[in-house]
Chains A and B, each alone.
Chain A
Amino acid sequence: MNRLVRLELLKLRRRWLIWILLGLLVAGEALTIFGGYYLAVSGTMTFLDERGQILPIEMVLPNFILPGALRAVLGLAQQVGSWLLVILTAVVIGMEEAYGTLRLILISGIGRTRYLAMKLTTLFIVVVSFVGTAVISGMGFALIVANVAEIPITPTPVEGSVWLSSFAMAVRTIVALTVPVVIAFVATLLSRSQTIGIAIGLVYFLAESVVNGLLALLGEAGQQIALLLPGTHIQALMAHNQFNSQGLIPGYLPSQPIAGLVLLSYILVLPGIAWALFVRRDIRSGSSQ
């Protein structure tokens, strides 16, 4: 499997898309850290807390140096990544149909289950690399801010280990990003179309808020159904991405264990359904260039 994943990663590395997406992420991180710092220091923008009250500048600035910057960095990675990684996933899966190489891969005797495992492992590595890039670039930008700041900034106080909290935040972000990746994976694999995969992956979370609104009209039963959809659970998981436990978590969000369990169910069940359909499918002629 290692060799197969290495071959997959070689295919990806040779495409501009992956580098463009990582470039967009790093640019976004720079904008968040440097831009946020500038706006705060210059007084161009005011920052609010969870209760909507204006935060004093000494409480804002720690968000642009370590360790406080990690929260902003990972939050951005999750938001931007949900879009960018959906596109990448659809390309990784859809290109084999689009180029007609799926047949070549399967007649090499790899087996359909191993093919899917190879693709999913590759995508998971991409998600982890994406979050890793966000953390490393964000840390770099935060260190620059700490060194150029004209006023002394007191770092965010941390309960417990900084490293453990940072690791937990990265893991939450990886889980939150894996869900849209899995949705795009299944949509592309079953539709055999990159375009449909991208469309479903991107539209899903927008549509979920509409569906949530409609379900709310159905009363208690509708709200119970809404609690099974992944969007709210991603929101709940990411809300726990903070160093201190006293941060406010909105009451309507599910608890962290429930959110994690529901999201892991999506991560396991959706590829399982795709596998069950894919192994029985006839692979007919694909397009060629």
Chain B
Amino acid sequence: MLMPHSSEYPVTPAGTETNRVPVIQVRGLTKSYGSTIVVDHVNLTVYQGDIYGLLGPNGAGKTTLIALLLGLIRPSAGEWHICNHDPRRNLQAALRHVGAMIEAPAFYPHLTGAENLHVLGGIRGPLPSGKIDDVLRQVGLQDRGRDRYRTYSLGMKQRLAIGLALVHDPAILILDEPTNGIDPQGRVEIRELLRTLSQAGKTIVLCSHLLAEVEQICTRAAILRRGRVVIESNVRDLVGQGNLELTFLELTKEVS
């Protein structure tokens, strides 16, 4: 059972158009490898309290964009700010506000779930006593936290990865396919957790292939195609009269 999470951050109701505080601002961000442009002059803004969907077909550049935001990849051009910090000048200050899971979960198989949170979560700073147990409870792993990671199912690994993203109570969560490999009941629980976190003022950037999921929980979304943002809007507006899948297919179809 996923538990709601307390937060010290101020609440900004998702979807409210007034008093919007931008927490991620991206301008002209570009990454190319030789003549191949993977991320192409991306502009987007994520506001506090948003659950922001990052959509696109395979190879659209979503994961590269996230890796750029997190400083794992050096940009070819452009700039971005996280909570008013310029990561090119002070990556450490910018990343202090971010918890992230990228692609498939990655942990030390010889350590337990709790030890993994201790070792990887402890890098940023000492964790308060009881924090690891709180997080394990939050992501529904309280009974398996003392088992070695190598014994976990894919769904449990995903939950642990979300737990690691949460362990420092960051203002922004960047989650790449967080429900991948999780059973339907688990997906519902994670969706509920994300909603609760958003209501508590957290900002969530969600990469997902599950359009129905994005439609259900995201407030705003951007659709990428070939490294470019083809649209950025409220999910309500994207859905329009039809559904998100139709909009997505329309915007990402290849013109021959």
Contacts and interface: CB of A to CB of B under 8 A. Distances in A.
Contact of B106 (A103, A110, A111, A282): A103
Contacts of B71: 106-107
Interface string B76-111: 000000000000000111111010101111111111
Given A4-B123, A103-B106, A104-B120, A11 B164 contact: no
A109 B122 contact: no
Interface in A1-19: 3-4, 7, 10-11, 14-15
Contact of B74 (A11, A14, A282): A282
B34 interface: no
A99 B116 CA distance: 12
A284 B73 contact: yes
A270 to B, nearest CB: 23
B31 to A, nearest CB: 9
Interface residues of A, number: 29
B84 to A, nearest CB: 16
Contacts of A95: 108
Nearest to B122: A7
B180 to A, nearest CB: 11
Given A99-B108, A100-B106, A109-B124, A10 B72 contact: no
B63 interface: yes
B92 A289 contact: no
Interface string A101-131: 1011111111100000000000000000000
B221 to A, nearest CB: 23
Contacts of B231: none
15 contacts: A3-B122, A7-B119, A7-B123, A10-B119, A101-B107, A103-B102, A104-B107, A108-B120, A109-B93, A111-B92, A282-B73, A285-B63, A286-B106, A288-B104, A288-B105
